[in-house]
Amino acid sequence: MLRVVQWATGGVGKAAIEAVLRHPELELAGCYVHSEDKNGKDVGEILGIDPLGVTASNDIDAILSLDADAVVYTPLVPNTEEVTRILRSGKNVVTPVGWFYPGERDAALAQTAVDAGVTLHGTGINPGGTTELHPLVLSAMSSAVTSVRAEEFSDMRTYNAPDVLRWVMGFGGTPDEAHKSPMLGLLSGGFTQSVRMCLDTLGFAEATIGTSHQVAVATAPIDSPMGVIEPGKVAAQRFQWDATIGEQVVVRIAVNWLMGEENLEPAWEFGPQGERYEIEIHGDPDTFVVIHGWQPTSIAEGLRRNPGIVATANHCVNSIPYVCAAEPGIRTCLDLPVVAGRAHPDLAATHG
C-alpha cells in the first residue's frame, strides 16, 4: 500500500482525495492546506464526508516529515521551491500544474529528484492528457502526419472558482484588463510543453511556436459564478498555441472558454456538438475524435462536481503507482507504462 499526501484542497485537491480513498493500492497519509481555517480539521470535514482520521495541516515541516510515498501537488500556481522541498523529503510528486515535458531550465529540479531517489511527474487533462498524450496515442494509427490539433470547448459558468475567474483569468473585466491578466503566461507554461512534446515525438522539423488571445464581451448581463458580467465586459476567451513550419501549422492547441453561448460579441458558440474536447490528426489516414463526458450536463452539476476537475484529479492519482515505480528524475507520460484506472470495488477481483 502506497501512502499519499494531498497538497492543497481546491477542486482538484478534493477530487484527488476521493480518488485516493477509492484506489485499492493507495491510502491517505496526510493533507497540506494553506488556510488557517482548514488547519487542524479532519480531512473528511473539509470534503463534507465522515471523518477520515487524517488531520489537515498548514505546517509544511510537519507534512514533509510524514511517512509517505507520494504527494499529489495541486496548488493553483506551481512553486518550484515547494516542489524541491517535497522531493528532498524523499517523496514522489504527481502534479497537474507543470513539468509535463520539462526543458533545460528544469535540470536542477531533475537532479534534485535523482539525488533523492524519487520522481516528479506532470499530468492531468488539459494540459497533461488531451494536449499531448492522447494526440500522440492516436497518431499511431496514421503515417506521414502533417498536423495535430487538440482543442477544448467549455462553459465557464460551471467553474466554481469566482476569484480565479475574475482576478486570474480576467473574466468580468475590460478586454484590455483580460489581455494584461497573468492567464496567458500561466497557461503557456504548460501548453507550450505540450506543443514541444508533440513536435519532438512526431519528429517535425524545427518549428516556431506562437500564441494568440481573443476575447468576446457581453452584450447583455450574464449570470456567472463570480456574479453578473455586465455588457461590454469580457465573457468569453480563446487561447491558442500554434507551431508552424513555414506557413504550415503542424501543431495547434486551443481552449475556448465561454460564459454560455448567448449575448456575446463576437457571437461565439460551441456549435452542434456542444461542450467537448476535440483531437484531430492529419495523415494517412486522418483521425478525428470528439470526447464528451468531461464537461457537466448542466451548470448546477458543474458547480457541484465538475467532471473535468474530477478527471484531472483521477489522472494524477491513477499515475501514482507507476510514478513510484519509475526511475528517479522528472518523468513524462512518454517514460511511463500505460496508466490505467482501477475497477469499482464492487466489481474488483478479490485475492485470497
DSSP string, 44-57: HHHHTSS--S-BEE
The pLDDT value given to residue 182:
87
What is the per-residue pLDDT across 144-192, written as a single tens digit (0 to 9) for each?
Answer: 999 999 999 999 999 988 998 999 899 999 999 999 988 888 899 999 9
Other Cβ atoms less than 10 A from the Cβ of 104: the count is 7
High-pLDDT (> 90) share of the chain, %: 93
Cα–Cα distance, 291 to 125 (Å, whole number):
12
Alpha-carbon dihedral sign for residues 290, 147, 254, 106: positive
- Whether the upstream peptide bond of residue 127 has omega within 30° of 0, thus cis, is yes
Arithmetic mean of pLDDT, 32-40: 95
What is the per-residue pLDDT across 109-147, written as a single tens digit (0 to 9) for each?
Answer: 999 999 999 999 999 999 999 999 999 999 999 999 999
Cα–Cα distance, 234 to 263 (Å, whole number):
11
The pLDDT value given to residue 186:
87
Q: Which of 5, 50, 60 is nearest to 29 (CA)?
A: 5
Cα–Cα distance, 288 to 339 (Å, whole number):
23
The pLDDT value given to residue 349:
87
* Pairing mode, strands 143-155 and 119-122: unpaired
Q: Which of 72, 71, 77, 96 is nearest to 16 (CA)?
A: 72
Task: Collect all residues with Cβ–Cβ distance below 8 Å to 269 and sequence separation of at least 6.
Answer: 258, 261
The pLDDT value given to residue 351:
57
pLDDT band at 333 (very low <50, low <70, confident <90, very high): very high
pLDDT band at 48 (very low <50, low <70, confident <90, very high): very high
What is the per-residue pLDDT across 200-221, written as a single tens digit (0 to 9) for each?
Answer: 999 999 999 999 999 999 999 9
Average pLDDT of the residues of the chain: 96
- Alpha carbons within 13 angstroms on the beta-carbon side of residue 303 total 8
Q: Which of 131, 267, 147 is nearest to 192 (CA)?
A: 131
pTM given for the model: 0.95
Long-range contacts of 57-60 (CB under 8 A, 24+ apart): 57/30, 57/31, 57/32, 57/33, 58/32, 58/33, 58/34, 60/32, 60/85
Separation of CA 239 from chain center: 15
* Pairing mode, strands 208-218 and 264-265: antiparallel
Q: Quick check: 316 and 123 in contact, CB under 8 A?
A: yes
Cα–Cα distance, 266 to 258 (Å, whole number):
11
What is the per-residue pLDDT across 292-319, written as a single tens digit (0 to 9) for each?
Answer: 999 999 999 998 999 999 999 999 999 9
Length of the chain, please? 352
